[in-house]
């Protein structure tokens, strides 16, 4: 995985057909996604349950791009090796998941993955100064984590701007997760984001038998950000 700040769209398979992950992933990749975002929830750190390392391992063989695993679990450390062995390229842990996020990020890189740090909407950027040199990605949650299809929280745009300034020329992605649509995407890219996770906005209107809407939906997000750049 080489680093660049070009816009990347990472569909969240939380909005895919759970009975058909392999084909859904192949469909979004054929339709032009950049990364595949995998939401792991434990029913404890967030009020929803999804899946664990065996599912990640099973879908890995259908992913040709980047497997971006978002861990909404606490604790994180006991599961890092299992997700790394399942084939995650990026493992993102929440700052709020425990008292030893520095150790967690070290362990993620130690397991051979890129390290991501996610921030809940209520968390400021003040506490991450000493973490920026040990991460490859910061994920700004623009909804409270747990569910797809929630309303975008506009106050987070200011956080993205602050974060972009803090990151400077470090090779650290700014990923946005939650409520990304053609309406919100330009604001986020303008503020400094380069990876946009989108669940409902990518999967709406399509299916494995009719995947063209997935491509249309991703192009609509991209086009919205390009209009802004051209303006």
One residue of 80, 113, 135, 197 binding ligand DX5 per CB under 6 A: 197
Q: Does 42 bind Zn ion (CB under 5 A)?
A: no
Contact stretch for ligand DX5 (CB under 6 A) within 89-97, 156-164, 172-180, 221-229: 172-180
Q: How far apart are the first and last CA of the chain?
A: 31
- Whichever of 29 and 39 has its CB closer to Zn ion, that residue is 39
Binding to ligand DX5 (CB under 6 A): which residues in 129-168? 143, 145-150
Contact stretch for Zn ion (CB under 5 A) within 70-78, 151-159, 203-211, 219-227: 70-78
Q: Does 89 bind Zn ion (CB under 5 A)?
A: no
Contact stretch for ligand DX5 (CB under 6 A) within 26-34, 77-85, 182-190, 197-205: 197-205
Q: Does 39 bind Zn ion (CB under 5 A)?
A: yes
The residues facing 141 across adjacent strands are 177
Give residue number: closest CB to ligand DX5. Answer: 199
CA distance 69 to 33: 15
Site string for ligand DX5, 61-90 (x = CB under 6 A): ---------x--------------------
Look up residue 59 and give its two tokens. Answer: 């879908």
Residues in the chain: 231
CA distance 198 to 180: 5
Look up residue 230 and give its two tokens. Answer: 């051209």
Using alpha carbons, select from 87, 199, 91, 101 the residue that is nearest to residue 142: 199
Residue pair 193/175 in contact by the 8 Å Cβ criterion: yes
Pairing of strands 36-41, 195-198: unpaired
Q: Cα–Cα–Cα angle for 162, 1, 109, nearest 5°? A: 70
Of these partners, ligand DX5, Zn ion, none, which one is at the site of residue 51 (CB under 5 to 8 Å by kind)? none
Query: Is 39 among the catalytic positions?
Result: yes
For the annotated binding site for a divalent metal cation, the residues are 37, 39, 70, 177
């Amino acid at each position: 995985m080489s680093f660049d700040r070009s816009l990347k769209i990472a569909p969240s398979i939380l909005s895919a057909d759970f009975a058909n992950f392999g084909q859904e992933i192949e469909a979004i990749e054929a339709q032009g996604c950049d990364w595949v975002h995998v939401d792991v929830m434990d029913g404890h750190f967030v009020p929803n349950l999804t899946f664990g390392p065996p599912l990640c391992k099973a879908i890995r063989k259908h992913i040709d791009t980047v497997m971006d695993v978002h861990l909404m679990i606490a604790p994180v450390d006991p599961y890092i090796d299992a997700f790394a062995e399942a084939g995650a390229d990026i493992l993102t842990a929440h700052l709020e998941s425990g008292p030893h996020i520095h150790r967690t990020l070290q362990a993620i890189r130690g397991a051979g993955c890129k390290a991501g740090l996610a921030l809940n909407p209520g968390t400021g950027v003040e506490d991450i100064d000493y973490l920026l040199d040990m991460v490859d990605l910061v994920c700004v949650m623009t909804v409270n984590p747990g569910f797809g299809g929630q309303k975008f929280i506009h106050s987070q745009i200011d956080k993205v701007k602050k974060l972009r300034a803090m990151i400077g020329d470090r090779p650290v992605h700014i990923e946005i997760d939650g409520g990304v649509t053609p309406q919100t995407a330009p604001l986020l890219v303008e503020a400094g984001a380069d990876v946009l996770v989108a669940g409902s906005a990518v999967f709406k209107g399509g299916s494995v038998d009719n995947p063209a809407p997935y491509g249309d939906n991703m192009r609509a997000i991209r086009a919205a950000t390009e209009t802004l750049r051209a303006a």
